[in-house]
Amino acid sequence: MAHLVDDLVDVSRVTRGLITLERAPVDAHRAVCDAVEQVKPAFARRGHRLHTELGGERPRLLGDHKRLVQVVANLLINAAKYTPPDGEIAVSLRSGPRRIEIEVRDNGIGIDAALLPRVFDIFTQATRTAGRDEGGLGLGLALVKRLTELHGGKVGASSAGLGQGSSFTVTLPRMPEHGDGAEVRATTADAPLRT
């Protein structure tokens, strides 16, 4: 309940332009690890197996560590809600010269093609299925989208269809390794990413 109230307050503040990021260099690897630690109890309760594919790099971005952890944790909690007990969920971190990608994949109920364009809208939720006792108001993904955009990034969703799992990818601008972080270009490169 507390998590739902926090999300509702945050969505309201973001949509009214009342949330500002505490911008500082953020270690994306650490942010993902902190999000994983945050959701471990929920995953353990449902018997989900969580795989991490974070690589050896420590790419940085200019942003808010707390809010980035919130983005990844919301994606992981969303995956848990729509994945039956004992399901598989994976989070990966990839980086290129100008961008960072964080992907959360699951083998859950999937997303109908008709819902995909609206999956980040406020109060949008997949139909509840038998055995799915995790409620929600459809706020988590809307908050993910808005917080990602505040970081100069974008988020997308894909699914092969109902029963075939889903994937959510957050793309963020990477800080230049040689710079001091004072100026960061919020662009995404087309170059292939490496793990």
Task: Read off the pLDDT of each residue in 171-191 and give the average, rounded to a whole number.
Answer: 58
Instruction: Look up tokens 């994937």; give the residue.
Output: 167
Q: What pairs with residue 95 in β-bridges?
A: 100, 194
Q: Is the pLDDT of residue 167 over 80?
A: yes
Q: What pairs with residue 158 in β-bridges?
A: 167
Q: Is the pLDDT of residue 171 over 90?
A: yes
Give the domains, in start order, of the chain with CATH numbers.
2-173 (3.30.565.10)
**pLDDT on residue 131:** 38
For residue 163, which of 99, 87, 110, 88 has the smallest C-alpha distance? 110
Task: Read off the pLDDT of each residue in 132-161 and give the average, rounded to a whole number.
Answer: 83
Task: Read off the pLDDT of each residue in 83-103 and give the average, rounded to a whole number.
Answer: 96
Task: Read off the pLDDT of each residue in 36-65 and give the average, rounded to a whole number.
Answer: 94
Is the entire prediction scored with pTM above 0.85?
Answer: no
CB atoms near residue 106 (< 10 Å): 27
Banded pLDDT at 31 (limits 50, 70, 90) = very high
- For residues 7 and 145, the answer to whether their CB atoms sit within 8 Å is no
